[in-house]
Structure 1
Amino acid sequence: MKIELTGRRALVTGSTAGIGFAIAEGLALAGASVVINGRGEERVSSALQALRSRNPDGDFSGVAADLSTAEGSAKLTGLVQDTDILINNLGTAHLNGFFEQQDSEWLDLFQLNVMSGVRTARYYLPAMMNRGWGRVVFISSESAIMIPSEMIDYGMTKTAQLAISRGLAELAGGTGVTVNAVLPGPTRSEILSNWMKVTAEEQGTTQEEAEQAFLKKMRPTTLIKRFTTTEEIANMVVYVCSEQAAGTTGAALRVDGGVVRALF
Protein backbone atom coordinates (compact mmCIF):
# COMPACT_ATOMS: atom_id res chain seq x y z
CA MET A 1 0.00 0.00 0.00
CA LYS A 2 1.36 3.40 -0.99
CA ILE A 3 -0.24 6.30 0.82
CA GLU A 4 -0.14 9.50 -1.23
CA LEU A 5 -1.18 12.82 0.31
CA THR A 6 0.57 15.18 -2.11
CA GLY A 7 -1.49 18.33 -2.54
CA ARG A 8 -3.20 17.96 0.82
CA ARG A 9 -2.65 20.38 3.69
CA ALA A 10 -2.61 19.08 7.25
CA LEU A 11 -2.82 20.80 10.62
CA VAL A 12 -1.59 18.91 13.69
CA THR A 13 -2.26 20.53 17.04
CA GLY A 14 0.10 20.00 19.96
CA SER A 15 2.80 18.76 17.62
CA THR A 16 6.12 20.11 18.88
CA ALA A 17 7.01 16.74 20.43
CA GLY A 18 5.81 13.21 21.04
CA ILE A 19 2.88 11.71 19.16
CA GLY A 20 1.99 14.99 17.44
CA PHE A 21 5.53 15.44 16.14
CA ALA A 22 5.56 11.87 14.78
CA ILE A 23 2.19 12.43 13.09
CA ALA A 24 3.41 15.65 11.48
CA GLU A 25 6.48 13.84 10.17
CA GLY A 26 4.44 10.87 8.92
CA LEU A 27 1.98 13.06 7.03
CA ALA A 28 4.85 14.98 5.43
CA LEU A 29 6.51 11.74 4.33
CA ALA A 30 3.26 10.89 2.58
CA GLY A 31 3.45 14.19 0.71
CA ALA A 32 1.20 16.52 2.71
CA SER A 33 2.19 20.05 3.60
CA VAL A 34 2.02 20.25 7.38
CA VAL A 35 1.30 23.02 9.86
CA ILE A 36 2.46 22.25 13.38
CA ASN A 37 1.29 23.96 16.54
CA GLY A 38 2.55 24.54 20.04
CA ARG A 39 1.95 26.98 22.84
CA GLY A 40 5.22 28.94 22.57
CA GLU A 41 7.36 30.32 19.76
CA GLU A 42 10.52 28.64 21.04
CA ARG A 43 9.01 25.15 21.02
CA VAL A 44 7.48 25.64 17.58
CA SER A 45 10.74 26.96 16.11
CA SER A 46 12.73 24.09 17.61
CA ALA A 47 10.27 21.49 16.27
CA LEU A 48 10.28 23.06 12.81
CA GLN A 49 14.07 22.98 12.74
CA ALA A 50 14.07 19.30 13.70
CA LEU A 51 11.40 18.36 11.16
CA ARG A 52 13.13 20.20 8.33
CA SER A 53 16.48 18.67 9.26
CA ARG A 54 15.04 15.15 9.25
CA ASN A 55 12.87 15.74 6.16
CA PRO A 56 14.58 18.20 3.80
CA ASP A 57 11.91 17.75 1.15
CA GLY A 58 9.03 18.32 3.54
CA ASP A 59 6.81 21.40 3.54
CA PHE A 60 6.44 22.55 7.16
CA SER A 61 5.18 25.70 8.83
CA GLY A 62 4.14 26.45 12.39
CA VAL A 63 1.84 28.54 14.54
CA ALA A 64 2.40 29.32 18.21
CA ALA A 65 -1.00 29.56 19.88
CA ASP A 66 -2.55 28.36 23.15
CA LEU A 67 -5.55 26.39 21.95
CA SER A 68 -6.88 25.89 25.46
CA THR A 69 -8.33 29.39 25.08
CA ALA A 70 -10.80 30.82 22.62
CA GLU A 71 -8.34 33.61 21.89
CA GLY A 72 -5.54 31.19 21.04
CA SER A 73 -7.84 29.17 18.82
CA ALA A 74 -8.90 32.33 17.00
CA LYS A 75 -5.24 33.20 16.44
CA LEU A 76 -4.65 29.77 14.87
CA THR A 77 -7.66 29.91 12.56
CA GLY A 78 -6.77 33.47 11.59
CA LEU A 79 -3.34 32.33 10.41
CA VAL A 80 -4.38 28.91 9.05
CA GLN A 81 -7.67 29.58 7.35
CA ASP A 82 -8.14 26.22 5.67
CA THR A 83 -6.93 22.63 5.88
CA ASP A 84 -7.76 19.28 4.32
CA ILE A 85 -6.61 17.22 7.30
CA LEU A 86 -7.13 18.15 10.94
CA ILE A 87 -5.42 16.17 13.67
CA ASN A 88 -6.67 17.15 17.12
CA ASN A 89 -3.70 15.84 19.09
CA LEU A 90 -3.33 18.55 21.74
CA GLY A 91 -3.70 17.22 25.27
CA THR A 92 -2.02 16.50 28.55
CA ALA A 93 -2.43 14.43 31.70
CA HIS A 94 -1.54 14.79 35.36
CA LEU A 95 -1.43 12.22 38.14
CA ASN A 96 -3.80 13.46 40.80
CA GLY A 97 -6.10 12.57 43.65
CA PHE A 98 -9.80 12.85 42.89
CA PHE A 99 -10.70 14.05 46.37
CA GLU A 100 -8.03 16.73 46.39
CA GLN A 101 -8.73 18.25 42.97
CA GLN A 102 -10.38 21.63 42.61
CA ASP A 103 -13.05 22.55 40.07
CA SER A 104 -10.58 24.79 38.28
CA GLU A 105 -8.28 21.83 37.54
CA TRP A 106 -11.13 19.90 35.93
CA LEU A 107 -12.18 22.89 33.86
CA ASP A 108 -8.64 23.71 32.75
CA LEU A 109 -8.06 20.16 31.53
CA PHE A 110 -11.41 20.12 29.73
CA GLN A 111 -10.52 23.34 27.93
CA LEU A 112 -7.16 21.92 26.82
CA ASN A 113 -8.07 18.33 25.95
CA VAL A 114 -11.62 18.77 24.70
CA MET A 115 -12.53 22.33 23.77
CA SER A 116 -9.38 22.83 21.72
CA GLY A 117 -10.60 20.10 19.37
CA VAL A 118 -14.19 21.33 19.44
CA ARG A 119 -13.09 24.78 18.31
CA THR A 120 -10.84 23.60 15.48
CA ALA A 121 -13.43 21.13 14.17
CA ARG A 122 -16.16 23.76 14.32
CA TYR A 123 -14.02 26.07 12.19
CA TYR A 124 -12.48 23.70 9.62
CA LEU A 125 -15.12 21.00 9.14
CA PRO A 126 -17.73 23.04 7.20
CA ALA A 127 -15.27 23.86 4.38
CA MET A 128 -14.20 20.20 4.17
CA MET A 129 -17.84 19.17 3.84
CA ASN A 130 -18.46 21.78 1.14
CA ARG A 131 -15.43 20.56 -0.85
CA GLY A 132 -16.44 16.93 -0.50
CA TRP A 133 -13.17 15.73 1.05
CA GLY A 134 -11.54 15.96 4.44
CA ARG A 135 -10.09 14.04 7.34
CA VAL A 136 -10.53 14.81 11.03
CA VAL A 137 -8.78 12.66 13.63
CA PHE A 138 -9.00 13.00 17.41
CA ILE A 139 -6.14 11.49 19.40
CA SER A 140 -7.97 9.95 22.34
CA SER A 141 -6.59 7.19 24.59
CA GLU A 142 -7.28 3.73 25.92
CA SER A 143 -8.01 5.67 29.12
CA ALA A 144 -11.26 6.69 27.43
CA ILE A 145 -12.41 3.08 27.85
CA MET A 146 -10.46 2.01 30.94
CA ILE A 147 -10.72 5.08 33.17
CA PRO A 148 -7.60 5.31 35.37
CA SER A 149 -8.42 5.97 39.03
CA GLU A 150 -5.31 8.12 39.31
CA MET A 151 -6.42 10.35 36.40
CA ILE A 152 -10.22 10.32 36.34
CA ASP A 153 -10.33 13.80 34.84
CA TYR A 154 -8.06 12.71 31.98
CA GLY A 155 -10.19 9.64 31.28
CA MET A 156 -13.27 11.83 31.20
CA THR A 157 -11.75 14.14 28.57
CA LYS A 158 -10.70 11.21 26.41
CA THR A 159 -14.18 9.67 26.56
CA ALA A 160 -15.59 13.06 25.59
CA GLN A 161 -13.39 13.02 22.50
CA LEU A 162 -14.94 9.73 21.41
CA ALA A 163 -18.42 11.20 21.71
CA ILE A 164 -17.44 14.29 19.74
CA SER A 165 -15.68 12.36 16.98
CA ARG A 166 -18.61 9.99 16.53
CA GLY A 167 -21.09 12.86 16.54
CA LEU A 168 -19.10 14.79 13.95
CA ALA A 169 -18.85 11.67 11.77
CA GLU A 170 -22.65 11.48 11.86
CA LEU A 171 -22.86 15.19 11.02
CA ALA A 172 -20.48 14.81 8.07
CA GLY A 173 -22.09 11.62 6.77
CA GLY A 174 -22.25 11.39 2.98
CA THR A 175 -20.00 14.40 2.36
CA GLY A 176 -16.72 12.62 1.67
CA VAL A 177 -15.31 13.73 5.01
CA THR A 178 -14.33 11.12 7.59
CA VAL A 179 -13.99 11.68 11.32
CA ASN A 180 -12.30 9.12 13.53
CA ALA A 181 -10.57 8.73 16.88
CA VAL A 182 -7.29 6.94 17.49
CA LEU A 183 -6.68 5.46 20.94
CA PRO A 184 -3.02 5.01 21.92
CA GLY A 185 -2.04 2.96 24.92
CA PRO A 186 1.08 3.56 27.02
CA THR A 187 3.43 5.26 24.57
CA ARG A 188 6.98 6.55 24.68
CA SER A 189 5.73 10.08 24.19
CA GLU A 190 7.22 13.14 25.83
CA ILE A 191 4.91 13.20 28.85
CA LEU A 192 4.97 9.52 29.75
CA SER A 193 8.68 9.17 28.96
CA ASN A 194 9.45 12.03 31.32
CA TRP A 195 7.41 10.33 34.05
CA MET A 196 9.33 7.10 33.48
CA LYS A 197 12.69 8.86 33.52
CA VAL A 198 11.91 10.49 36.85
CA THR A 199 10.64 7.19 38.25
CA ALA A 200 13.76 5.38 37.07
CA GLU A 201 16.02 7.97 38.68
CA GLU A 202 14.11 7.79 41.96
CA GLN A 203 14.25 4.00 42.03
CA GLY A 204 17.76 3.64 40.67
CA THR A 205 16.64 1.60 37.66
CA THR A 206 16.69 2.05 33.89
CA GLN A 207 13.83 3.66 32.01
CA GLU A 208 13.01 0.33 30.38
CA GLU A 209 12.78 -1.31 33.81
CA ALA A 210 10.54 1.54 35.00
CA GLU A 211 8.31 1.05 31.97
CA GLN A 212 8.04 -2.68 32.61
CA ALA A 213 7.14 -2.04 36.24
CA PHE A 214 4.49 0.47 35.15
CA LEU A 215 2.96 -2.02 32.71
CA LYS A 216 2.98 -4.82 35.24
CA LYS A 217 1.22 -2.71 37.86
CA MET A 218 -0.95 -0.30 35.85
CA ARG A 219 -1.54 -2.00 32.47
CA PRO A 220 -1.07 -5.74 33.07
CA THR A 221 -3.34 -6.63 30.14
CA THR A 222 -0.84 -5.38 27.55
CA LEU A 223 -0.20 -7.98 24.88
CA ILE A 224 2.93 -6.49 23.36
CA LYS A 225 4.55 -6.16 26.82
CA ARG A 226 6.15 -2.82 26.00
CA PHE A 227 5.30 0.81 25.38
CA THR A 228 4.27 1.64 21.83
CA THR A 229 6.35 4.12 19.88
CA THR A 230 5.11 7.46 18.65
CA GLU A 231 5.76 6.27 15.09
CA GLU A 232 3.40 3.31 15.59
CA ILE A 233 0.63 5.72 16.58
CA ALA A 234 1.46 7.99 13.66
CA ASN A 235 1.24 5.09 11.21
CA MET A 236 -2.40 4.52 12.10
CA VAL A 237 -3.18 8.22 11.83
CA VAL A 238 -1.54 8.56 8.43
CA TYR A 239 -3.53 5.59 7.17
CA VAL A 240 -6.81 7.04 8.48
CA CYS A 241 -6.03 10.24 6.56
CA SER A 242 -5.45 8.38 3.30
CA GLU A 243 -7.69 7.74 0.32
CA GLN A 244 -7.46 4.05 1.19
CA ALA A 245 -9.30 4.72 4.48
CA ALA A 246 -12.30 6.41 2.86
CA GLY A 247 -14.59 3.66 4.18
CA THR A 248 -13.55 4.18 7.80
CA THR A 249 -15.45 6.86 9.71
CA GLY A 250 -17.06 7.21 13.11
CA ALA A 251 -14.58 4.67 14.44
CA ALA A 252 -12.50 4.40 17.60
CA LEU A 253 -9.28 2.75 16.43
CA ARG A 254 -7.07 1.32 19.15
CA VAL A 255 -3.28 1.29 18.97
CA ASP A 256 -3.01 0.24 22.60
CA GLY A 257 -0.87 -2.89 22.38
CA GLY A 258 -3.91 -4.97 23.33
CA VAL A 259 -4.39 -3.30 26.73
CA VAL A 260 -8.16 -3.09 26.36
CA ARG A 261 -9.59 -6.58 26.79
CA ALA A 262 -12.51 -6.23 24.42
CA LEU A 263 -13.39 -7.36 20.93
CA PHE A 264 -15.27 -4.16 20.07
Structure 2
Amino acid sequence: MRIDLSGKKAVVSGSTAGIGFGIAEGLARAGADVVITGRTAERVNDATARLQKAVPEASVAGVAADLGSADGCRTLIDAHPEADILVNNVGIFQPTPFFEIPDEDWENFFQVNVMSAVRLSRHYARGMKERDWGRVLFLSSESALNIPTEMVHYGMTKSAVQSISRGLAKVLSGTRVTVNAILPGPTRSEGVGKMLKQMAEEQGISEQEVEERFVRENRPSSIIQRVADVEEVANMAVYLASPQASATTGAALRVEGGIVDTMA
Protein backbone atom coordinates (compact mmCIF):
# COMPACT_ATOMS: atom_id res chain seq x y z
CA MET A 1 0.00 0.00 0.00
CA ARG A 2 1.43 3.35 -1.06
CA ILE A 3 -0.07 6.38 0.63
CA ASP A 4 -0.10 9.54 -1.48
CA LEU A 5 -1.37 12.73 0.11
CA SER A 6 -0.18 15.06 -2.63
CA GLY A 7 -2.46 18.07 -2.96
CA LYS A 8 -3.79 17.68 0.59
CA LYS A 9 -3.18 20.25 3.32
CA ALA A 10 -2.75 19.08 6.91
CA VAL A 11 -2.92 21.10 10.11
CA VAL A 12 -1.32 19.36 13.09
CA SER A 13 -1.85 21.02 16.46
CA GLY A 14 0.93 20.83 19.02
CA SER A 15 3.46 19.60 16.49
CA THR A 16 6.82 21.10 17.42
CA ALA A 17 7.95 17.88 19.11
CA GLY A 18 6.93 14.37 20.12
CA ILE A 19 3.97 12.60 18.57
CA GLY A 20 2.75 15.77 16.87
CA PHE A 21 6.04 16.33 15.08
CA GLY A 22 6.21 12.65 14.17
CA ILE A 23 2.76 12.85 12.58
CA ALA A 24 3.66 16.06 10.76
CA GLU A 25 6.78 14.40 9.36
CA GLY A 26 4.85 11.29 8.31
CA LEU A 27 2.22 13.38 6.52
CA ALA A 28 4.92 15.44 4.81
CA ARG A 29 6.71 12.29 3.61
CA ALA A 30 3.38 11.16 2.12
CA GLY A 31 3.22 14.39 0.13
CA ALA A 32 0.87 16.56 2.19
CA ASP A 33 1.44 20.27 2.74
CA VAL A 34 1.88 20.57 6.50
CA VAL A 35 1.16 23.35 9.00
CA ILE A 36 3.06 23.00 12.27
CA THR A 37 1.80 24.76 15.39
CA GLY A 38 3.33 25.53 18.76
CA ARG A 39 3.11 28.07 21.54
CA THR A 40 6.23 30.08 20.70
CA ALA A 41 7.74 31.35 17.46
CA GLU A 42 11.12 29.94 18.49
CA ARG A 43 9.81 26.38 18.82
CA VAL A 44 7.74 26.65 15.65
CA ASN A 45 10.67 27.98 13.62
CA ASP A 46 12.93 25.25 14.95
CA ALA A 47 10.38 22.53 14.15
CA THR A 48 9.67 23.78 10.63
CA ALA A 49 13.41 23.92 9.93
CA ARG A 50 13.88 20.36 11.22
CA LEU A 51 10.97 19.09 9.14
CA GLN A 52 12.17 20.89 6.04
CA LYS A 53 15.61 19.32 6.51
CA ALA A 54 14.11 15.86 7.03
CA VAL A 55 11.79 16.17 4.02
CA PRO A 56 13.42 18.71 1.65
CA GLU A 57 10.66 18.51 -0.93
CA ALA A 58 7.90 19.19 1.60
CA SER A 59 5.76 22.32 1.80
CA VAL A 60 5.90 23.36 5.45
CA ALA A 61 4.39 26.34 7.25
CA GLY A 62 4.21 27.25 10.92
CA VAL A 63 1.95 29.19 13.27
CA ALA A 64 2.77 30.24 16.83
CA ALA A 65 -0.38 30.34 18.96
CA ASP A 66 -1.73 29.18 22.31
CA LEU A 67 -4.41 26.77 21.16
CA GLY A 68 -5.68 26.43 24.71
CA SER A 69 -7.54 29.69 24.13
CA ALA A 70 -10.21 30.81 21.67
CA ASP A 71 -7.94 33.64 20.50
CA GLY A 72 -5.11 31.24 19.83
CA CYS A 73 -7.34 28.98 17.75
CA ARG A 74 -8.54 32.03 15.83
CA THR A 75 -4.92 32.98 15.09
CA LEU A 76 -4.34 29.60 13.48
CA ILE A 77 -7.63 29.65 11.58
CA ASP A 78 -7.02 33.15 10.25
CA ALA A 79 -3.57 32.13 9.02
CA HIS A 80 -4.80 28.89 7.41
CA PRO A 81 -8.58 28.96 6.88
CA GLU A 82 -8.83 25.61 5.12
CA ALA A 83 -7.40 22.15 5.61
CA ASP A 84 -8.08 18.69 4.23
CA ILE A 85 -6.60 16.94 7.25
CA LEU A 86 -6.84 18.09 10.88
CA VAL A 87 -4.87 16.32 13.58
CA ASN A 88 -5.97 17.38 17.06
CA ASN A 89 -2.81 16.47 18.90
CA VAL A 90 -2.05 19.35 21.26
CA GLY A 91 -2.27 18.28 24.88
CA ILE A 92 -0.74 18.56 28.32
CA PHE A 93 -0.27 16.07 31.14
CA GLN A 94 1.12 16.18 34.65
CA PRO A 95 1.08 13.42 37.28
CA THR A 96 -0.67 14.91 40.32
CA PRO A 97 -2.47 13.15 43.21
CA PHE A 98 -6.22 13.61 42.83
CA PHE A 99 -6.66 15.45 46.12
CA GLU A 100 -3.99 17.95 45.12
CA ILE A 101 -5.40 18.97 41.72
CA PRO A 102 -6.76 22.52 42.01
CA ASP A 103 -9.74 23.81 40.05
CA GLU A 104 -7.52 25.88 37.76
CA ASP A 105 -5.65 22.75 36.63
CA TRP A 106 -8.89 20.95 35.78
CA GLU A 107 -9.94 23.99 33.75
CA ASN A 108 -6.56 24.37 32.04
CA PHE A 109 -6.41 20.70 31.06
CA PHE A 110 -9.93 20.91 29.65
CA GLN A 111 -9.21 24.06 27.63
CA VAL A 112 -5.98 22.73 26.12
CA ASN A 113 -6.81 19.06 25.63
CA VAL A 114 -10.50 19.29 24.79
CA MET A 115 -11.61 22.75 23.74
CA SER A 116 -8.71 23.23 21.32
CA ALA A 117 -9.97 20.17 19.45
CA VAL A 118 -13.58 21.35 19.62
CA ARG A 119 -12.77 24.80 18.25
CA LEU A 120 -10.51 23.60 15.44
CA SER A 121 -12.80 20.74 14.43
CA ARG A 122 -15.84 23.01 14.42
CA HIS A 123 -14.12 25.24 11.88
CA TYR A 124 -12.13 22.87 9.67
CA ALA A 125 -14.69 20.05 9.51
CA ARG A 126 -17.29 22.50 8.20
CA GLY A 127 -15.10 23.21 5.18
CA MET A 128 -14.38 19.52 4.71
CA LYS A 129 -18.11 18.83 4.66
CA GLU A 130 -18.66 21.50 2.03
CA ARG A 131 -15.92 20.02 -0.16
CA ASP A 132 -17.09 16.47 0.67
CA TRP A 133 -13.64 15.20 1.65
CA GLY A 134 -11.61 15.37 4.78
CA ARG A 135 -9.94 13.65 7.69
CA VAL A 136 -10.23 14.67 11.35
CA LEU A 137 -8.06 12.84 13.86
CA PHE A 138 -8.21 13.17 17.63
CA LEU A 139 -5.26 12.04 19.74
CA SER A 140 -6.89 10.34 22.68
CA SER A 141 -5.02 7.85 24.88
CA GLU A 142 -5.27 4.48 26.54
CA SER A 143 -5.79 6.67 29.59
CA ALA A 144 -9.25 7.44 28.21
CA LEU A 145 -10.23 3.85 29.06
CA ASN A 146 -7.66 2.93 31.67
CA ILE A 147 -7.92 6.09 33.80
CA PRO A 148 -4.58 6.60 35.59
CA THR A 149 -4.93 7.25 39.30
CA GLU A 150 -1.96 9.60 39.13
CA MET A 151 -3.57 11.72 36.37
CA VAL A 152 -7.35 11.55 36.72
CA HIS A 153 -7.77 15.00 35.16
CA TYR A 154 -5.75 13.92 32.11
CA GLY A 155 -7.75 10.72 31.73
CA MET A 156 -10.96 12.74 31.90
CA THR A 157 -9.88 14.93 28.97
CA LYS A 158 -8.93 11.95 26.84
CA SER A 159 -12.28 10.27 27.48
CA ALA A 160 -13.94 13.52 26.40
CA VAL A 161 -11.88 13.70 23.22
CA GLN A 162 -12.84 10.16 22.29
CA SER A 163 -16.51 10.96 22.86
CA ILE A 164 -16.33 14.06 20.67
CA SER A 165 -14.60 12.08 17.94
CA ARG A 166 -17.37 9.49 17.81
CA GLY A 167 -20.09 12.15 17.92
CA LEU A 168 -18.56 14.26 15.14
CA ALA A 169 -18.22 11.18 12.94
CA LYS A 170 -21.98 10.68 13.29
CA VAL A 171 -22.65 14.37 12.60
CA LEU A 172 -20.78 13.91 9.29
CA SER A 173 -22.66 10.74 8.36
CA GLY A 174 -23.05 10.23 4.63
CA THR A 175 -20.11 12.43 3.67
CA ARG A 176 -16.59 11.55 2.63
CA VAL A 177 -15.24 13.14 5.78
CA THR A 178 -13.99 10.60 8.30
CA VAL A 179 -13.36 11.20 12.00
CA ASN A 180 -11.35 8.88 14.21
CA ALA A 181 -9.55 8.76 17.52
CA ILE A 182 -6.09 7.33 18.08
CA LEU A 183 -5.26 5.86 21.48
CA PRO A 184 -1.51 5.74 22.10
CA GLY A 185 -0.06 4.22 25.22
CA PRO A 186 3.14 5.44 26.88
CA THR A 187 5.19 6.78 23.98
CA ARG A 188 8.76 8.00 23.89
CA SER A 189 7.79 11.59 23.21
CA GLU A 190 9.59 14.68 24.44
CA GLY A 191 7.26 15.02 27.44
CA VAL A 192 7.48 11.37 28.47
CA GLY A 193 11.24 11.47 27.93
CA LYS A 194 11.57 14.37 30.38
CA MET A 195 9.40 12.57 32.92
CA LEU A 196 11.47 9.37 32.68
CA LYS A 197 14.72 11.33 32.92
CA GLN A 198 13.50 13.11 36.04
CA MET A 199 12.44 9.80 37.59
CA ALA A 200 15.85 8.29 36.75
CA GLU A 201 17.66 11.16 38.46
CA GLU A 202 15.44 10.93 41.52
CA GLN A 203 15.87 7.16 41.82
CA GLY A 204 19.56 7.04 40.87
CA ILE A 205 19.10 4.52 38.06
CA SER A 206 19.30 4.58 34.25
CA GLU A 207 16.47 5.84 32.04
CA GLN A 208 16.15 2.35 30.51
CA GLU A 209 15.67 0.86 33.97
CA VAL A 210 13.08 3.53 34.78
CA GLU A 211 11.22 2.79 31.55
CA GLU A 212 11.17 -0.94 32.23
CA ARG A 213 10.06 -0.40 35.82
CA PHE A 214 7.41 2.12 34.74
CA VAL A 215 5.84 -0.35 32.32
CA ARG A 216 6.08 -3.22 34.80
CA GLU A 217 4.59 -1.28 37.70
CA ASN A 218 2.21 1.17 35.99
CA ARG A 219 1.15 -0.66 32.82
CA PRO A 220 1.58 -4.34 33.73
CA SER A 221 -1.04 -5.46 31.20
CA SER A 222 1.12 -4.20 28.32
CA ILE A 223 1.60 -6.96 25.79
CA ILE A 224 4.63 -5.41 24.08
CA GLN A 225 6.15 -4.67 27.52
CA ARG A 226 7.83 -1.47 26.40
CA VAL A 227 7.23 2.17 25.65
CA ALA A 228 6.23 2.77 22.02
CA ASP A 229 8.20 4.87 19.57
CA VAL A 230 6.70 8.08 18.17
CA GLU A 231 6.88 6.71 14.63
CA GLU A 232 4.65 3.78 15.58
CA VAL A 233 1.87 6.20 16.54
CA ALA A 234 2.54 8.47 13.56
CA ASN A 235 2.14 5.56 11.14
CA MET A 236 -1.42 5.01 12.34
CA ALA A 237 -2.22 8.70 11.88
CA VAL A 238 -0.85 8.76 8.34
CA TYR A 239 -2.94 5.74 7.41
CA LEU A 240 -6.12 7.25 8.86
CA ALA A 241 -5.43 10.47 6.94
CA SER A 242 -5.15 8.57 3.68
CA PRO A 243 -7.71 7.82 0.96
CA GLN A 244 -7.19 4.12 1.76
CA ALA A 245 -8.89 4.61 5.16
CA SER A 246 -12.15 5.78 3.58
CA ALA A 247 -14.33 3.17 5.34
CA THR A 248 -12.85 3.75 8.79
CA THR A 249 -14.75 6.38 10.75
CA GLY A 250 -16.15 6.76 14.23
CA ALA A 251 -13.43 4.39 15.40
CA ALA A 252 -11.02 4.42 18.31
CA LEU A 253 -7.81 2.79 17.11
CA ARG A 254 -5.30 1.67 19.70
CA VAL A 255 -1.54 2.00 19.45
CA GLU A 256 -1.02 1.18 23.10
CA GLY A 257 0.65 -2.20 22.99
CA GLY A 258 -2.33 -4.11 24.36
CA ILE A 259 -2.50 -2.31 27.72
CA VAL A 260 -6.29 -2.09 27.67
CA ASP A 261 -7.29 -5.66 28.46
CA THR A 262 -10.43 -5.95 26.35
CA MET A 263 -11.14 -7.08 22.81
CA ALA A 264 -13.85 -4.50 22.13
TM-score under structure 2 length normalisation? 0.99
Q: Deviations over 1:192-245 (max 9, x none)?
A: 111001111222222111100000110001111111000000000000011110
The aligned residue for residue 99 of structure 2 is: 99
The aligned residue for residue 17 of structure 1 is: 17
Q: 2:251 and 2:32 mapped to 1: Cα distance? A: 23
- Once the two structures are superposed, the pairs formed by residues 138-153 of structure 1 within 5 Å of their partners are 138-153=138-153
Q: 1:28 and 1:52 mapped to 2: Cα distance? A: 9
- Once the two structures are superposed, the pairs formed by residues 96-175 of structure 1 within 5 Å of their partners are 96-175=96-175
Q: 1:7 and 1:78 mapped to 2: Cα distance? A: 21
Q: 1:193 and 1:19 mapped to 2: Cα distance? A: 12
Q: Deviations over 1:2-58 (max 9, x none)?
A: 001000000000000000000000000000000000000000001011111111111
Q: 1:203 and 1:104 mapped to 2: Cα distance? A: 30
The aligned residue for residue 209 of structure 1 is: 209
**1:192 maps to 2:192:** yes
Instruction: Give the count of matched residue pairs.
Output: 264
The aligned residue for residue 61 of structure 2 is: 61
Q: 2:51 and 2:133 mapped to 1: Cα distance? A: 27
Q: 2:212 and 2:125 mapped to 1: Cα distance? A: 41
- Does 46-55 or 82-91 show the bigger shift? 46-55
The aligned residue for residue 219 of structure 2 is: 219
Q: 1:241 and 1:42 mapped to 2: Cα distance? A: 28
Q: 1:60 and 1:204 mapped to 2: Cα distance? A: 41
**1:236 maps to 2:220:** no
- Once the two structures are superposed, the pairs formed by residues 29-68 of structure 1 within 5 Å of their partners are 29-68=29-68
The aligned residue for residue 83 of structure 1 is: 83
The aligned residue for residue 259 of structure 1 is: 259
Q: 2:119 and 2:41 mapped to 1: Cα distance? A: 21
Q: 1:92 and 1:189 mapped to 2: Cα distance? A: 12
SS of corresponding position for 2:138: strand
CA apart distance, 1:101: 1.6
Q: 1:200 and 1:103 mapped to 2: Cα distance? A: 30
Q: 2:181 and 2:29 mapped to 1: Cα distance? A: 21
Q: 2:174 and 2:14 mapped to 1: Cα distance? A: 29
Query: What is the root-mean-square deviation in Å for CA atoms of aligned residues?
Result: 0.6
Unmatched 5+ stretches in structure 2: none
Unmatched 5+ stretches in structure 1: none
% same residue: 53
4+ runs deviating over 6 angstroms: none
Q: 1:207 and 1:246 mapped to 2: Cα distance? A: 40
The aligned residue for residue 176 of structure 1 is: 176
